[in-house]
Amino acid sequence: GKKRYDREFLLGFQFIAAST
Amino acid sequence: SETVTPAQYLKHPLQNRWALWYFKNDKTKGWTENLRLIAKFDTVEDFWALYNHIQQPSKLLFGCDYCLFKDGIKPMWEDDKNKKGGRWLMTLNKQQRHNDLDRYWLETLLCLIGEAFDEHSDEVCGAVVNVRPKGDKIAIWTGNCQNREAIVSIGQLYKERLGLSLKALIGYQSHDDTSSKSGSTTKNLFSV
């Protein structure tokens, strides 16, 4: 299926990405 | 010992690979020379790594653009995927550079990479933000200006996501009309 992400899900990763 | 689940180390893949472009208005150079590919990404994590690293649109110099397009589509009218298409255009007033521009652009990016337009997401080619002294612009480009149902649905959802009031109208214009216009305004094929 399509990989759809809502805004809250996406926003939840904003600062996780920087720390990994 | 601690167990690491796959969700903790696997990145979250996007439906599409995206390319972020930057346009700097250097009048000594040609238009295509001024257009530079910054980076491509295809995961949620890599999107944020890039987004967190670059300037917000409100910090760019006048004449600069960011373009986010699906990999393989160049951010220009002439590209095969764009030439029959058009754009939902939002024009911002000067005050909105401080209040709304960065917020609207991020929301636009999230709509694109999250495939927010349901079955019509395939119609989307990309998005552009233009930073201009007279007023900034943000647009979502789609591939076929005849595809009324998809375009109107995208426009309605986009307006909702931006939190625009029902009274605020945005218009959709074909690239053909935009590129051949003689005055400063292009007729809207659709508006929502």
Rounded to a whole number of angstroms, the distance from the CA of B28 to the nearest CA of chain A is 37
Residue-level pLDDT, tens digit, chain B, 192 residues: 677 776 667 899 999 999 999 999 999 999 999 999 999 999 999 999 999 999 999 999 999 999 999 999 999 999 999 999 999 999 999 999 999 999 999 999 999 999 999 999 999 999 999 999 999 999 999 999 999 999 999 999 999 999 999 889 999 999 999 988 776 788 999 999
Q: Is B12 on the interface with A (CB under 8 A)?
A: yes
Best of B12, B16, B44 to substitute, by most chain A Cβ atoms within 10 angstroms, is B44
**Interfacial A residues in 1-20 facing B (CB < 8 Å):** 2-7, 9-11, 13-18, 20
pLDDT for A19 equals 55
Tell me what ipTM this predicted complex has. 0.89
C-alpha distances out from residue B52 to A18, B48, B79, B134, B178, Å: 8, 6, 29, 27, 33
Cα–Cα distance, B18 to B68 (Å, whole number): 7
